[in-house]
Chains A and B, each alone.
Chain A
């Protein structure tokens, strides 16, 4: 391409922002509006917050002479997803005092608060920081919350991956003093550009950047939805190193085939000591080569597809000054959680609870709060929006079980395997991108499908099912066996054929299906699956073998090979 493309607006905004300051402080001080300017909103993402409004009541606000009912989403980083009971209690307090009375556990093992209004934003963020948590770089064109497998079966391995996740997170956290100045009333310190952001520089990354650390056989962090992943290679009980996977990602735009989800490529292996260096250099290659002219084409997945995987590996090796070793063998079985109590080799117990849609509310919230008040271990947020009450000693277990029972949590995971393997993003009413319901929509859809499951005896067969309000991918819809992606109010694109271990993208089966027709559309397929599946065959594999849908081999053929009729509903 010879023509010079214009830089995306956000690139200028970053340069002009003086390391993420911009006019944020002024915008936050203006109490005449609960909102912020467009540029301030973009900058605020780097500080972990999104401006949203209550879309349930958006119509009619002007009649009341009111602007939109603005509030903020605050995303709280929890590197590796491990929080202390004190931190849990703090989040619970904040949910009551400033947010909408709920805590959302995200698909990236972070906490989210919704409904915090502008006048309370600073105070809320200060309290989050007082609990040794923060929101910096929870969103924005930087490295986001680093995910890691919370698997308690292998306690030593978990301790190692958690440590490495936290180190990666620390290493790649933006260094600008803007966060402290704006939220924590920190001193302004004069520094040179090189001192401010040694890794990022003043334009940060072209787009968001996601890192995960997986421990096979679980792919619960969904490595294929991450720009960079480390897959632990465990020998005995020891991690000998990590396979390096790059270029995964979910987001796409309806009607724009140049955008697509993409699986990550495994490009080699590195030792535990090399992980930080590899993280930094992968990020630097993306920083230097990523497309800064088009934000819909700026993720690492496009940087790689525009060139080649070989090019990427070559360039990375150059940046590293050494070559990655050849990848080691491993196998993922699934990307779900393992519910219920388990005992680790130290004799401690861990309980993986099911939290539908990751939304902690009502009685369950009270119960978890009471548990946090007596719990000596920790809380682990899973990549599937669920929660592990971890490190419960045999002595402490009865008291915690009594509380679980009292607040109706003990049997949270006695649900259909379909429901247990569900994920939904927030969507309406707060997310500005949502085209349809997700968190409020999926439970009912599953209830409909459970009728079919009961009839066909599939109640205990795990099928991954995900619903998102838009195709940007917060709920990682394109990696599930069944996915509903919002198209317009009450209508969803239905995707099928994802790999059960999150290792194959799904494909569009029907466009714009009305919510109420989902059961009729999928019921016959599930019945067919029950009758004609092969031994241990997963639903995602079955729909391909049975010819309902063609397999997607990678991002570039995601939009191709649709069956006749995909657009006919």
Chain B
């Protein structure tokens, strides 16, 4: 119940959990009020400083680094951040921050900071209560000398931030101006360091969030992982679990309860002609408006034999009846493929259908499970997902996957998404951090492996790790590429092999790349490696499975049946785990 990232020792967490779980709602409420007023004494906390930089040639990065080091020497808690990794609203989270940025060409920001700069010009986060200063680098031989620094300075002021010290404009030989600015900055920070820190009592959830009681998780980030020029649409979503009491492990899944898209709802309203506000009763006896039922409570897309049968029961329909007959099963399968509830309504309208009747044939909106893409140790209080938007054309209409496009189109930063954690005990890192792991995760199948690698990185695991990733195109679809590069550098990931199917005339998939490293894969297995597969169950997982048996046969010098037995044994030993869908 107490989240692992809460500021308690494990004994404290255990006793708190034991205590709190026994409380009645009334007791919980009283205690939370009591704790809220229970502020710790004001302490003279050391001031802190975030140095953000935008760099083209590396100068600003170097100055940011020097600034952080100088600040730390003065006892200031200082960190540096690249503007390329921030969004403007991040500024609101800083207490004191220094911007070091250069100007290029005709008054342009460094290329890496361009994205930030453009949103910064257009967005207006409230920066009241934050303090800033700007160190601008430039070249006086250009018209727009230090232009970008000047714009930051003016804009930050207009957004309500207060200056720590005046902006410094530095020419190509920046040393003296920079040193002067740094001196003023550090003096000012030292003078105003006794800022009281606001009490922040850990929030104790008074309710338990679960499959029966979804947690409304705030969306912290929603970015497209495919680059411009791609044919794919894969997003990375970060959700806050702050205050939920929800906890998870690398390998678990997150259940997302989506909303039906508004255009899908309105198509049904239009087709049926029922009023949006008409009250209907849904399963369990709850009464809601028809519009609300369609939007958030019912599955209004997926068509099944059961639904068609119930629909037919409402009114006689010769065509449908014939289609449902036993001898036409194959025809029915063809018919239903790619069709949705709206098609049933349009192709076989029922005279006299009521809203309540319609509602009663539909099932409850089912949650969708997504393999979690984050380690809770690497991202306390957050859960990340990797989601491929499903969109296709069928029977004259643009169709879309309910949950994936809900997350893509509607789960925007600041919105809430209903979730709960779904534990997956069959997809776990080895108990020992020394055990090597091989991970095969093309496309969104890479999600849990991001969690695994982060987790092992956080733990400082010594065991080797090897990731096979694949997608369509190297330059556009290399999901999380920059992160893998960091993990390879830090050692959290030891090896990475990739297969991109559309970069050459012949298709290349992960199993093809596995074959190239067959000997090494076998020797990893031989020394105890665990083998993980995540992603498409229909083809990829089967092909990878066959390839694995082939590798064992070839390099273990075993006949096929013994190689198959070897792989089966890996499964029994939980050294071969799959999360496929």
Residues of A within 8 A of B (CB): 31-34, 54, 57-67, 69-71, 97-98, 117-120, 123, 255, 435, 488-489, 491
Contact = CB atoms under 8 A, between A and B. Distances in A.
Contacts of B482: 62, 65-67
Contacts of A57: 227-229
Contacts of B114: 59-60
B461 interface: no
A469 to B, nearest CB: 13
Nearest to B82: A62
A64 to B, nearest CB: 5
Contact of B105 (A32, A120, A489): A489
B220 to A, nearest CB: 15
A294 B497 CA distance: 40
Contacts, number: 86
Contacts of B480: 65
Given A32-B484, A57-B229, A488-B106, A117 B503 contact: yes
Contacts of A64: 223-227
Contacts of A491: 106
Given A31-B497, A31-B498, A65 B105 contact: no
Given A67-B481, A69-B475, 12 more contacts: A32-B498, A57-B227, A59-B111, A60-B227, A62-B84, A64-B223, A65-B223, A65-B480, A66-B475, A71-B475, A117-B474, A491-B106
B495 to A, nearest CB: 9
Contacts of B432: none
Interface of B: 84-85, 105-106, 111-112, 114-115, 141, 223-229, 236, 474-476, 478-485, 488, 496-498, 500, 503-505
A30 B115 CA distance: 28
B466 to A, nearest CB: 12
Contacts of B485: 32-33, 67
A65 B229 CA distance: 15
B227 A61 contact: yes
A33 B488 CA distance: 11
A564 B351 CA distance: 87
Closest 10 pairs (CB-CB, A-B) = A59-B114, A57-B228, A69-B475, A488-B105, A62-B84, A32-B496, A66-B227, A31-B498, A65-B482, A97-B505
B130 to A, nearest CB: 23
A119 B500 contact: yes
A488 B496 CA distance: 39
A59 B224 CA distance: 14
A97 B488 contact: no
B223 A63 contact: yes
Contacts of B498: 31-32, 119
Given A33-B485, A57-B227, A97-B504, A65 B479 contact: yes
Contact of A62 (B105, B112, B474): B112
Contacts of B84: 62
A118 B503 CA distance: 10
Nearest to A59: B114
A152 to B, nearest CB: 36
Interface centre among A61, A67, A123 (most CB of B within 10 A): A61
A97 B508 CA distance: 14
B227 A32 contact: no
B504 A123 contact: yes
B227 A58 contact: no
Given A32-B496, A62-B482, A67-B481, A117 B505 contact: no
Contacts of A60: 114-115, 227-228
Nearest to B236: A65
A32 B226 CA distance: 16
